[in-house]
């Protein structure tokens, strides 16, 4: 039986002690957002996740999906669970009140993501996509589109997708073939095939709203010629006079020219339909301006990248909780330093240093990622601040941190779930205990929304030099300031000194990547993944140093002293890999690119 306890205490610690969450968002239309309210909402969401979503997780993995005659049927219980979430208003929580939401801040959305992913990753991706479509429609759609689609998307009555990849075009979207032909009534007719479309077809909702990138006739070559279109599965049934301009009467109450020709059979997330979608003269509406589809699509994709990063944390957390529970009950061998429990045939396996190494590595990485996730959530809210300087800083930091969160969190999530299986030995490999499913499910996160190699190239090749390096400067300022503030605090030396060394190393490696990369792009590309990992470790070190700074002031608290012990595990056991990463980055590219291809 899989267990899960939402980490309420962890979020309370981060919200109330480590970060000034409430002060930071008080001027962004969130004055009612306080600790008591957060606790109430978080407990309600946690109850829904543990009591409704978690029991369906294994069922969805075992049953999978049914595909017949172009239609996808979700596993037993999924439709009812979805409707319960819709009726309770959970999926609209962070949306605007005028669209049926509660207007909760993004920092809370990240916490919601973690709980849902831990308990049912296959289902959790559906509302994440719907919210992404909601953001695009609300931010860039016409008033008619907003009036008709926003509330339905916000509440989850209707779902959404993002349709980019084509059979011949994955990362290279500039060569897509999907066409959008303008019509006299203001609509477009969209024709083409999209693959790997998550939740492209299902029976959870009455309608699915697809965000489709396509090219109009005579559009510029490459990504500069891509436009974005809203293409619904079902066309609107009712509208007021003058509403949804361009929709002719004969199109009303009709299914659009959209069909699903198949679903993929995958290693994991068996209850999440991954579809081949065909658009055949489908009616669509332009979102934003012509030939500006890629910047808009990346608004949604970058938010989904952050949500994908939280998948690494969510599945890493539930894997850790279950492997720890198993380890507490498992007796095997004796403590090498002497028998711990002479009344039993064997000692608990927690006496073994290697078991502790695995479990504590999982725990500490999870908690570091959670802290960084909270900071990123705060920055997402600050992007909407009325203070232009706060807004500029938040946008720069989000641009820089997005590839790190996506790549580093998901890398660690895959490592953590694998490690937790190892803790359990043969039991971890058996489906009866659930952890092997978490490993299979989380593996897609390193591929979704741009592979982690692409994220690393984005970080090293674009984000660190973007805006004349301002993105990186906005990060370095608080890092250096924190180090200086804690330089003369003796209790902080064990955390502050290695953080200082790592930040100096990051500065030197960044200069190396930029200078060498300008002359030889192979150098930059060969070191990008290791650079991204190095950067990720620096960010977790910063988070752990911030948490340690709070905890050294609470010697009377068991919770805070445990956090200090966790910080020591991070800096002693995990952080030293930055030394090896630096050496690998500096080794360059020649040993890779000069290797004879014929001998590979």
Which amino acids are annotated catalytic? 449
Write the CB contacts of 225 (distance below 8 Å, at least 6 apart in sequence). Answer: 215, 216, 219, 291
Which residues make beta-bridge pairs with 182? 188
**Mapping DSSP to helix (H, G, I), strand (E, B) and coil, where does residue 377 land?**
helix
**Sequence-distant (≥ 6) Cβ neighbours of residue 558 within 8 angstroms:** none
Q: Which two tokens stand for residue 28?
A: 């962004």
Tokens describing residue 12? 């309370």
CB 290 within 8 A of CB 216: yes
Instruction: Give the distance, in angstroms, between the CA of residue 430 and the centroid of all CA atoms in the same chain.
Output: 27
Place of tokens 């190699």: 453
Q: How far apart are CA 190 and CA 212, in angstroms?
A: 9
Burial class (CB in 10 A: 0-12, 13-18, 19+), 327: buried
d(CA 325, CA 223): 50
Residue located via tokens 């500096």? 586
Q: Are 298 and 213 in contact (CB under 8 A)?
A: no
3-state SS, one letter per residue, for 495-513: HHHHHHHHHHHHHHHHHHH
Look up residue 342 and give its DSSP letter. T
Task: Indicate the pairing of strand 226-232 with strand 158-163.
Answer: unpaired
- Is the torsion defined by CA of 37, 41, 46, 47 positive or negative? positive
């Amino acid at each position: 039986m899989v267990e899960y306890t939402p980490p309420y205490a962890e979020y309370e610690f981060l919200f109330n002690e480590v970060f000034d969450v409430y002060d930071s968002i008080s001027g962004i239309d969130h004055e009612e957002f306080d600790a008591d309210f957060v606790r109430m909402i978080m407990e309600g969401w946690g109850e829904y996740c543990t009591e409704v979503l978690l029991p369906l997780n294994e069922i969805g993995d075992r049953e999978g999906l049914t595909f017949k005659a172009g239609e996808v049927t979700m596993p037993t219980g999924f439709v009812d669970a979805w409707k319960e979430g819709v009726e309770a208003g959970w999926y609209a929580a962070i949306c605007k009140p005028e669209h049926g939401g509660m207007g909760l801040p993004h920092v809370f959305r990240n916490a919601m993501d973690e709980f849902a992913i831990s308990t049912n990753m296959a289902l959790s991706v559906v509302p994440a996509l719907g919210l992404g479509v909601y953001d695009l429609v609300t931010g860039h759609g016409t008033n008619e589109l907003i009036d008709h689609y926003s509330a339905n998307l916000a509440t989850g009555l209707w779902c959404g997708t993002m349709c980019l990849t084509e059979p011949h075009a994955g990362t290279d979207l500039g060569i897509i073939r999907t066409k959008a032909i303008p019509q006299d009534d203001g609509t477009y007719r969209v024709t083409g095939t999209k693959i790997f479309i998550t939740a492209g077809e299902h029976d959870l909702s009455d309608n699915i709203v697809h965000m489709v990138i396509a090219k109009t006739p005579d559009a510029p070559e490459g990504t500069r010629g891509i436009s974005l279109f809203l293409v619904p599965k079902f066309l609107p049934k009712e509208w007021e006079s003058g509403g949804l301009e361009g929709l002719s009467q004969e199109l009303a109450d009709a299914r659009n020219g959209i069909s699903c020709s198949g679903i993929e059979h995958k290693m994991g997330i068996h209850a999440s339909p991954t579809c081949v979608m065909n658009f055949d003269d489908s009616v669509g509406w332009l979102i934003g301006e012509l030939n500006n589809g890629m910047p808009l699509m990346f608004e949604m994709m970058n938010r989904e990248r952050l949500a994908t990063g939280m998948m690494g944390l969510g599945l890493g957390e539930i894997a850790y909780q279950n492997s720890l529970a198993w380890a507490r009950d498992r007796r095997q061998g004796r403590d090498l330093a002497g028998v711990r429990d002479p009344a039993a045939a064997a000692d608990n396996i927690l006496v073994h240093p290697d078991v502790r190494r695995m479990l504590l590595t999982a725990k500490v990485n999870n908690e570091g990622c959670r802290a960084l996730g909270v900071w990123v959530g705060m920055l997402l809210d600050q992007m909407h601040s009325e203070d232009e300087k706060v807004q500029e800083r938040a946008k720069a930091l989000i641009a820089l941190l997005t590839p790190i969160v996506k790549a580093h969190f998901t890398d660690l999530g895959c490592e953590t779930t694998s490690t937790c299986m190892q803790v359990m030995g043969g039991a971890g490999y058996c489906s009866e205990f659930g952890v092997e499913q978490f490993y299979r499910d989380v593996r897609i996160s390193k591929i979704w929304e741009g592979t982690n190699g692409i994220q690393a190239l984005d970080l090293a090749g674009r984000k660190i030099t973007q805006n004349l390096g301002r993105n990186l400067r906005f990060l370095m300022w608080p890092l250096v300031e924190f180090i200086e503030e804690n330089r003369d605090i003796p209790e902080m030396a064990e955390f502050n000194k290695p953080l200082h060394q790592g930040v100096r190393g990051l500065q030197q490696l960044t200069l190396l990547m930029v200078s060498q990369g300008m002359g030889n792009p192979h150098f930059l590309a060969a070191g990008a993944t290791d650079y991204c990992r190095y950067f990720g470790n620096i960010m977790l070190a910063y988070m752990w140093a911030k948490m340690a700074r709070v905890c050294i002031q609470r010697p009377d608290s068991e919770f805070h002293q445990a956090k200090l012990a966790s910080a020591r595990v991070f800096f002693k056991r995990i952080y030293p890999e930055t030394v090896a990463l630096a050496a690998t980055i500096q080794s360059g590219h020649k040993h890779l690119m000069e290797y004879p291809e014929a001998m590979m």
